[in-house]
Amino acid sequence: MIERVFEPGHPSTLGHFPGNPIVPGALLLSAVLDGIQAWLGTGFAPFQIRSAKFQRPARPGERVVISYDRVAGRETPGEEIRFTCTVGESPVLTGQISCIAPPKAK
């Protein structure tokens, strides 16, 4: 689990949207992938984002908690990793990635 706060002056939030800024989905997904890679202690390319559901906007200055875990019992090669981003108790982004080569955990 990691926590991120995207500052109100972050360059990507300035155009999303003037007067009602949100953290762009691509920036949230990038933070998720960076966190998973750090958690695994290795790169996990190639990978596929199997699902990503944006449930509500994250706003600059909000504390986003990103958690992830392995999906057990998969019969496919590689690994499936689920992720969730929340602000307080509210889900912001949920999804799953598939890693082709099994990564090694720390």
Instruction: Tally the domains of the chain.
Output: 1
Domain-located, residue 104: no
Domain-located, residue 105: no
Domain-located, residue 11: yes
Give the CATH number, domain containing residue 62: 3.10.129.10
Domain-located, residue 74: yes
Give the C-alpha separation, 96 to 85, whole Å.
12
17 CB-near residues (< 8 Å, 6+ apart):
none
Query: Is the model's pLDDT at 2 over the cut of 90?
Result: yes
Domain-located, residue 106: no
> Quick one: pLDDT at residue 99?
85
Domain-located, residue 80: yes
Q: Which domain holds residue 41?
A: 2-99
For residues 76 and 28, which has the higher predicted lDDT (pLDDT)? 28
What's the rounded mean pLDDT across residues 11-28?
89
pTM, rounded to two decimals: 0.85
DSSP code of 13? G
Give the C-alpha separation, 52 to 87, whole Å.
16
Domain-located, residue 52: yes
Domain-located, residue 28: yes
